[in-house]
Homo-oligomer: A and B are copies of this chain.
Amino acid sequence: MENESSYKERKVISIGAVSELTGLSERQIRYYEERKLIFPTRTERGNRKYSFSDVERLIDIANKREEGVRTDEIRMEYRKEKTREDRETRNKMIQGQINARFMTQKNGKRFS
């Protein structure tokens, strides 16, 4: 998960293709970026590149907008999700370190 080189996360899709995949206008897609809902990378020249993951998020945004949810509300929802995910990732990493120490001790090794 969260593998940057996975197909789903690789940012290679241009805005025109994203527009076709999502049914959103290029104007809308750029606006959602302005509102901090989506974060494409840029080519050297400045062209936006999106991942399939971005496309899925845009479809989610489109659904929420249809329900009348404002962009700042959508942003807050994503912020909350992100915070929760970060907390879980942090906990896993801490647990990983604890496990590592535990195994080192079982192997009879000492550490400072």
Contacts and interface: CB of A to CB of B under 8 A. Distances in A.
B52 A7 contact: yes
A5 to B, nearest CB: 11
Q: A interface, by DSSP: helix, strand, loop or mixed? A: mixed
Contact of A14 (B7, B10, B14, B21): B14
A49 B21 CA distance: 13
A30 interface: no
Nearest to A55: B12
A45 to B, nearest CB: 10
B49 A10 contact: no
Interface of A: 7-8, 10, 12-14, 16-17, 21, 43, 49, 52
